[in-house]
Structure formats: C-alpha cells, structure tokens
C-alpha cells in the first residue's frame, strides 16, 4: 500500500564554507545554472533521499570543487522561508578550515569556476550567502 502525505514539504540542502586559515580566504563557486547563474556562492546543493546531511556536504563539496579530505563541522541552520527562489529550502551550513596550500580546488558539476576570495573583499553572493559568510566570520575568524 502506498501512502501519500498531503502537506507540502521543504527541500533540504547543505552549504559549505571552506576557510583558508593562513590567508583568511574563503572558497566560492561561480554558479553555472539558474537561479543566480554567474553569481558567486558557497558550494552546496540538495540532500539526496538516501544520504545523511554530513554525507551530502562531503559529496557536494567534492562535486563542485574537487576538494576532499577536509574535516567539516556543522555550523548553523538557515531556514528563512524566501531564501531560495526555487521554493522552500532549509540549509545546514558546514565549515571546514585548512591552510591554503592543502586545498586543491577545481570547478566541477554545476560550478563554472572555483576560486578563493579574501574575507575582507567578498563579491555579492547568491541566495543568503552574504549573511551566512558574515555569521561565519563573526564566529570563526
């Protein structure tokens, strides 16, 4: 027997902030697709139905930036109802820290570019990522 749930459900996603501790920079991706095509953003994406949030964070980071082997820590949940024009999304944000020479980033998947930016000279970011990055700077830098 199949069960149908009658209430709308939000989409779950992960966003990942990789901080180069020695240079005080953050790794961003340029979005290849809409929404916010050609805008800079944190790497991230949607949770697959068969994975945990932690696994999704590591998967999305590797898919979009080729970065792996960096320990990620849960930072904070962002759940403003209008944070994504595609619909209701809730994001678990992760932070990873490493010295820059150990971070080998290359754009992949739906990222057109992957590049480090100074935490004091950030571009305008997609979605609510400016707020997220400012919260991370306040707490971690």
Per-residue pLDDT tens, the chain, 141 aa: give them: 677 888 888 999 999 999 999 999 999 999 999 999 999 999 999 999 999 999 999 999 999 999 999 999 999 999 999 999 999 999 999 999 999 999 999 999 889 999 999 999 999 999 999 999 999 999 977
**Within a domain: 66:** yes
Q: Which residues are catalytic?
A: 113
Is 3 domain-assigned? no
Question: Does the residue 1 lie in any domain?
Answer: no
Beta strands in 1-141 (DSSP E): 11-20, 25-31, 40-41, 44-46, 72-78, 89-98, 111-118
Total tally of structural domains belonging to the chain: 1
**Which structural domain, as residue segments, surrounds residue 84?**
11-140
pTM of the model: 0.94
Continuous segment of H or E residues that includes residue 135: helix 129-140
Domain at 101, CATH number? 3.90.79.10
- 29 lies in a domain? yes
Residue 4 domain-assigned?
no
Domain membership flag for residue 102: yes
């Amino acid at each position: 027997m199949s069960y149908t749930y009658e209430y709308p459900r939000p989409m779950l996603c992960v966003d990942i902030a990789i901080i180069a501790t020695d240079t005080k920079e953050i790794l961003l991706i340029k979005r290849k697709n809409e929404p916010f095509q050609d805008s800079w953003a944190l790497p991230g994406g949607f949770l697959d139905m068969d994975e945990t949030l932690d696994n999704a964070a590591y998967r999305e980071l590797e898919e979009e930036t080729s970065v792996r082997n960096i320990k990620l820590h849960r930072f904070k949940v962002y759940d403003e109802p209008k944070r994504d024009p595609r619909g209701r999304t809730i994001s678990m944000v992760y932070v990873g820290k490493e010295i820059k020479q150990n971070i080998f980033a290359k754009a992949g998947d739906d990222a057109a570019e992957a590049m480090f930016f100074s935490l004091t000279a950030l571009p305008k970011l997609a979605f609510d990522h400016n707020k997220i990055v400012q919260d991370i700077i306040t707490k971690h830098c």
